[in-house]
Structure 1
């Protein structure tokens, strides 16, 4: 047996589902009618973003809900140019994100910056000249 190379849902544990839902709505990401007061689902291209209480998510997974800090995970939003990185970072910050690292040329040859959503989940906004995108904005990895 092997698994298909896909992720169905990425669920972020958040402190306030309503507040987080409002933040992502300001980005233009509409919640699905499958959402309720306890969880928000947002249809993305090829996957779903879930927003769920951090405490409830920890309870469901049977793990301790430890204080927030760097969780060793970032989410990435790739664009097709350095100018695009600057524009996206400016927009997300205007929607309520916190600027963590201003966009800049990076050691691996690209250009990126970091922002945090209202719960501190890190998003890297990046232009990677080595990972082109298809007509739908999906990253194309080399074979």
Structure 2
């Protein structure tokens, strides 16, 4: 298995509501087959798929995939000054702030929100992992 993630699929209860949430954050849909809404990212794609259909595909009861799963999605930014405004934008779009923007013990700055289906996003600036010019992230950064 190559060391990469190609597609992140979120099981959602209302496809259009979830799509509007991400569109309000500034993302653009790409053409996709019926029943899937996709947003191309830098090097990956985020897919929205009906939660009940995802549970059926997994062969588990839909109730078993609810609540905090122990996974967060992260969106890193170029400066700490961008964190609070993005969290505010997520809240205005229908998200719920879980942790307001604040300094982190390791030297970064971050906060958390949940999207309308409860998927948890970390919004962060990591001074030790500068983003590429295109916005790509890697653990040790892209340097100057």
Same fold (TM over 0.5): yes
For residues 123 and 33 of structure 2, the distance between their equivalents in structure 1, rounded to whole angstroms, comes to 27
Q: Which residue of 2 aligns with 1:59?
A: 56
Q: Which runs of 5+ in 2 are unaligned?
A: none
Contact between 1:35 and 1:41, CA under 8 Å: does it hold in 2? Answer: no
5 Å-filtered alignment, 1:3-42, equals 3-36=1-34, 38-42=35-39
Kindly report structure 1 stretches of 4+ aligned residues shifted beyond 3 Å: none
Q: How far apart are residue 67 of structure 1 and its match?
A: 5.7
> How many equivalent pairs are there?
140
Q: How far apart are residue 4 of structure 1 and its match?
A: 1.9
TM score, norm. by length of structure 1: 0.90
Q: Which runs of 5+ in 1 are unaligned?
A: none
Q: How far apart are residue 118 of structure 1 and its match?
A: 0.5
Distance 1:35 1:24, change over 3 A: farther
Indicate the RMSD between aligned Cα atoms, in angstroms: 1.6
Q: 2:100 is matched with which residue: 72, 97, 102?
A: 102
Could you report, residue by residue, the CA deviation over 1:7-34 in whole angstroms, capped at 9, with x for unpaired residues?
Answer: 1110001111111111111112122221
Q: Which residue of 1 aligns with 2:91?
A: 93
